[in-house]
Copies of this chain bind each other. A is one copy, B any other.
Amino acid sequence: VKLAELGEFGLIDRIAQKVGPATGVSLGIGDDAAVTVPTPRMVSLTTTDMLVEGVHFDLSYCDPATLGRKSLAVNLSDLAAMGAIPRHCFLSLAIPPACAVEFIDQFSTALLALAEQHGVSLVGGDTCSSPAGLVVNIALVGEQEPQRVITRRGARPGDLVCVTGTLGDAALGLALLRQGERQGEAVRRQLDPEPRVGEGVALAQAGLPTAMIDISDGLLADLGHILRQSAVGACLELARLPLSPAYRAAFPLLTAADFSLALSGGEDYELLFTIPPHRLADLQALADRFRVPVTTIGAITADHGLRLLDRDGRQLPATSQGFNHFAPERASAG
C-alpha cells in the first residue's frame, strides 16, 4: 500500500485503530480537538519535542520502530524530569512521498506500545506530506499534584547532586554508529533510550528532589540549567561519575579527557537531580526499587559556577558544553 492510495484520512484511521482504551479521555482521534478530563486538584504538565530527519535521526541506522519509541521517549523523559505522570500524547508527522506505509505502521506500532507501557494514550495529531525528510512532533501531557512538581529552580547549597544510570553512553553510541558500528549497549542507548518515568515519578512522590532535569544536552549543560535557575553553583567529582562497562571498555585508560562524553555528550536521558543531604538514606531506600543505580556525583555550592575535581582533588577547567541547535561547531546529533 502506498501513502497516496491510503490518503491522509486512511492513514489517520490506520493509526487510530491501534490505539487502546484510554482513561480520562472523552473524545480521542477524529474530531477537531481531543477532549480530556483533568484529574481534580492536579496541574497539567505539557512538553513538546520535534525530531527532524538529518538532524535528530538518520534512517540509515535507525529503524522505524526504534524511531517511534525514541520520539515518545524523549518527551516521556521531559515529564519524568518534572515528576509528572504521563497521560495523553499528540503526534504530528510530515511524511516524505517516498515513505512506505509499512514504515509508518512500524513507527506507530512501536510508539503506541511504549505509550501503553507508560499508561499514555494517543488522542490526536496531524499528518501531512513533507517535500524533504520525515519530521515528527510529539506533545505529551501529564499530571501531578502541584506540590509534587519538581522544577529546575529549587537546588540549595549543600544539596547533593545525583544522577540515575550511567553517563556518556548515548554520545559514545553515536560516535560508534558514525564509525559503522551497529551493535552493542552504547549504540542501543543512542538509538533506543529508556526514559526514567517510574524513577522520576517516585522521586517526586517521595518529595526528595529540590531540583530535577533530564540529561538531553549533556551533564554539564543540563546541570548548568539547574545552577542558573537556582542561582547556585556546584562541585562535581570526576571519579564519581557513573560509567558503563561499554564506556570503560571504550576508554580503558580513563584519562581526564576520556570523561568528555560523560560530561558533555547528550541524549543519555538520565535524571539529574539534587536532594538535601539529610534525605540521602531515603533516596537509597527508594533507589533500591529502581531499574538503574543512583549515584551521588557532587554537591551544590553557594559560590556560583561549576567546579570539577579530578581523582586527586585537583580542579579541572569546566565549560557547560552540550548540544546546542544552530551552533556552527556541531551540526547534527544522533
Tell me whether A52 and B135 are in contact (CB under 8 A).
yes
Instruction: Give Cα distance in the complex from A326 to B1, angstroms.
Output: 12
Partner of A324, one of B8, B36, B126, B331: B8
CB distance A325 to B46 under 8 Å? Answer: no
Which listed residue, B3, B33, B42, B149, touches A326 by the CB 8 Å rule? B3
From B48, B56, B132, contact of A137 by CB (8 A)? B48
Given contacts A8-B324, A327-B7, contact A92 B50 (CB under 8 A): yes
User: CA separation between A79 and B78, bound complex, in Å?
Assistant: 26
CB within 8 Å of B: which of A185-241?
213-214, 229
Residue in A27, A32, A54, A128 with the greatest tally of chain B CB atoms within 10 Å: A32
Tell me the complex Cα distance, A48–B146, Å. 26
Per the bound structure, the CA–CA distance linking A243 and B112 in Å amounts to: 44
* Identical copies of this chain, number: 2
Identify the interface centre among A40, A42, A44, A45: most chain B CB within 10 Å of its CB. Answer: A44
Please, which residues of chain B bring their CB within 8 A of the CB of A69?
none
Residue from B33, B43, B45, B135 in contact with A45 in the complex, judged by beta carbons closer than 8 Å: B33
Q: Which of A50, A90, A142, A153 has the most CB of B within 10 A?
A: A50
Instruction: Judge whether B128 and A56 touch: CB under 8 Å.
Output: yes
Q: Are A128 and B4 closer than 8 Å at their CB atoms?
A: no
- Interface assignment of A109: CB less than 8 Å from any CB of chain B: no
Neighbouring B residues of A30 by C-beta, 8 Å: 152, 229
Least Cβ–Cβ distance between A2 and chain B, in angstroms: 8
Expressed in whole angstroms, the Cα–Cα distance for A326 and B128 within the complex equals 7
Would B31 and A43 count as touching, CB distance under 8 A? no
Q: Does A127 contact B (CB under 8 A)?
A: yes
Q: Considering the complex, give the chain B residue whose CB is closest to the CB of A52.
A: B94
Residue contact B33 to A46, C-beta cutoff 8 Å: yes
The 6 closest A-B pairs by CB, nearest first: A132-B132, A38-B38, A33-B47, A139-B139, A137-B137, A8-B325
